[in-house]
Structure 1
Amino acid sequence: MRSASVLPVFMGLLGAGLAQNENVTLIDPINRYDNLTLSPPAQGFPILQRDFEVPPDCGETTYVGRGRLQGLNALITGGDSGIGRSVVIAFLREGANVAINYLPEEEPDVDDLADFLQEEGLSFERIPGDLLNETFCTELVHEAADRLGGLDIMVQNAAYSGILSGESWQPIESQSTEQLERIFRTNVFANFFLTRAAVPLLPRGGSIVFTTSGIINSVDSNAIDYGSSKASISYMIRSLSAQLAPKGIRVNGVAPGLTYSPFLASGGFTAEAISTIGGANAYGRIEQPAELAPIYVNLADPLATYASGNIWAATGSVPGPV
């Protein structure tokens, strides 16, 4: 009897989805950004998206929401630009209530994002602060839950790459203890602190989505510090998914390829390096944030009840984590 009562509802949702999608246009992944010359700003940290001559595509004109996260409350770290910005746009258009975290120095990008979304009648909660601070990590989670009226989804996207170069990352004898500590405190410790604070607040059916990296399966011999931090997150995802399964909380990760964003620019990747690396990819280009946002939505969607402990790769046909 229970199955019979659910089936009409499911078929109704399916029919509505088909009706909404019947005019979808296929997109050629190779030619989607054809003839787009990418030009990141000079190296520094943090780098603002507003300083890009050719800004990253975060789905501003392409992502269409269908109410998949309607009424859910989400905290997104690193939500000011790049991948985080694309997730903010997608989640809001899917009906979620969103709070974002970012460094105070990144406020200009947050202002730009807020102004853009205001034109659609959308808004988000701002909670700036440095994730290197353990106390702030705990306060951030509770502040987001207080402002949103609860917490259903946490997207842990903020990260630090260290000082890289687009052509050759540093050998171990050139890597400083200071950089190693900052990478791990941002990429590993902060995610641990945030998760520890969030688990008691997440309801059954809640989810956590981490941003890891395709580098964990496409090893670069000179990215020991950054790559190791992302490998740690990948283990954390799989371990947490098992630990939190009895609580009904799902845990997954997204492993992007090299993505055009302030994060990439802050690592010192020049236009020339991006062109060289992108040209070696089967698609002939690097990734754009807009191509990642749908994956985060899929993993946060409450209907994805059996998706946990997975790391979903988006690496443009380059083998990645599964």
Structure 2
Amino acid sequence: MEEDKGKPGQVQSHQPGKEYKMNPAPAYIKPGYKGNGKLNDKVAIISGGDSGIGRAVAVLFSCEGAKVVIAYLEEEKDAEETKRLAEEQGGQILLIKADLSRKSDCKKVVSETLAKFGQLNIVINNAAQQYVQRQLEDIDEAQLRKTFETNIFSYFFLTQEALPHLKNGDTIINTASVTAYRGKPELIDYSSTKGAIVAFTRSLSTNLASRNIRVNGVAPGPIWTPLIPASFSEEEVSEFGVHVPLGRPGEPSEVAPSYLFLATDEASYITGQFIHPNGGEILNT
């Protein structure tokens, strides 16, 4: 098929990458999508919501009636564009610049969410960074700490701050990765954090089951987000995603519906589970 191709080779020099510099731009919502009010009267926090999968989730949730808080690290231009796109869908958006590897910033995000919207129902832990290193010995202490603090500490901290305000029927959704299940040789520390997210999700789901707070996750495969040109060489970017059964990288718009499903009452009997939008890679997990 014509669409079964990679993306043009390109690189960015800074993590976690900037969506406005990508060519082509990632698709953030399915053309002609019409919301049905599935998240009316709900308030969601999305970490890393300024671009990539986070942007797609923010726009889709807005289409479905949610009020959305986007926590982002530093990508102000991307965050403002996500706000604009979500508001075009009728959304009410609050942008909060925060370093979620710091517990104090997670506390700020939750407190500002409550001050603005008066409640919290959905937590999407999605922020992540990755740094390619070909050998384990090349991962220095600073990189290891930064990867874990961004990719898994932030999930703990934000969830800890949010939990006192979640109630029966509310939900937490964590972003893992296909690399949690089969690894990736040049992303050892990143893959390790994603494995930790799987264990965090499964453990927390059983811990909160008696409170009827559901905890699930999404484990995407190769998705066209700013992390890709910010991580890999031009040649690697041009080949990104072409080796999965569907023959191409996925778009954020193809991942966001997994989060929507898990956030709605349609998933009321699902907790401790992962959805795998990965282009057809069979993981048997």
> When the two structures are superposed, what TM-score results if normalisation uses the length of structure 1?
0.83
How far has the Cα of 1:297 moved from its partner? 0.2
User: Shift in Å at residue 320 of structure 1?
Assistant: 3.1
Assess, with a 3 A threshold, how the Cα gap between structure 1 residues 284 and 101 changes in structure 2: closer, same or farther. same
User: Is this contact kept in 1: 2:58–2:82, CA < 8 A?
Assistant: no
Whole-Å Cα distance in 1 between the matches of residues 153 and 141 of structure 2?
16
Distance 1:189 1:116 in 2: 29
Tell me which residue corresponds to 1:8.
none
Q: CA deviation at 1:156?
A: 0.5
Q: Deviations over 1:207-238 (max 9, x none)?
A: 00000011112222332211111111100000
Corresponding position of 2:169:
205
Instruction: State the distance in 1 between where 2:61 and 2:90 align.
Output: 14
Contact (CA 8 Å) 2:6, 2:242: kept in 1 or not?
no
**Aligned residue runs from structure 1 range 1-322, under 5 A:** 33=3, 37-59=7-29, 61-103=31-73, 105-161=74-130, 163-164=131-132, 169-270=133-234, 272-320=235-283, 322=285
Distance 1:160 1:37, change over 3 A: closer
Residue 269 of structure 1, CA deviation: 4.7
Contact 1:41 1:265 in 2 (8 A): yes
1:163-194 CA-to-partner distances (Å, cap 9, x unmatched) read: 21xxxx42111111111000101111111111
For the residues of structure 2 that align with 1:40 and 1:151, how far apart are their CA atoms?
A: 39
The answer to whether the 8 Å contact 1:40/1:54 transfers is no
Deviation at 1:308? 0.3
Task: Give me the whole-angstrom Cα distance separating, in 2, the residues matched to 1:303 and 1:46.
Answer: 33
What secondary structure does 2:219 align onto? strand
When Rg is computed on C-alpha atoms for both structures, the one with the higher figure is 1
The one of the two structures with greater contact order (alpha-carbon pairs below 8 A, sep at least 6) is: 2
Q: Distance in 2 between matches of 1:84 and 1:261?
A: 10
- Cα gap change, 1:203/1:160 in structure 2, threshold over 3 Å: closer, same or farther? same
1:311 Cα deviation from its structure 2 partner: 1.3
Cα deviations by residue, 1:248-285 (Å, 9 ceiling, x for unpaired): 10000100001111122222253x31332422211111
**Secondary structure at 1:109 match in 2:** helix
Between the aligned residues of both structures, percent identity stands at 35
1:263 corresponds to which letter in structure 2? L
Gaps of 5+ in 2: none
What do the CA deviations read for 1:81-135 (whole angstroms, capped 9, x no partner)?
Answer: 00000000100001111111001x3111122222334444433011111112221
User: How much has 1:241 moved relative to structure 2?
Assistant: 0.2
How far did 1:303 drift? 3.1
Contact 1:256/1:292, CA 8 A, preserved across alignment: yes
> Matched residue of 2:13: which SS?
coil
8 Å CA contact retained: 1:255, 1:321? no
CA contact (8 A) 2:220 2:276 kept: yes
For 1:246 and 1:237, the matched residues in 2 are separated by 15
Alpha-carbon RMSD across the aligned residues, in angstroms, is: 1.9
Q: Cα 1:39–1:62, aligned 2, differ >3 Å: closer, same or farther?
A: farther
Question: Please, what TM-score do these two structures have when normalized by structure 2?
Answer: 0.93
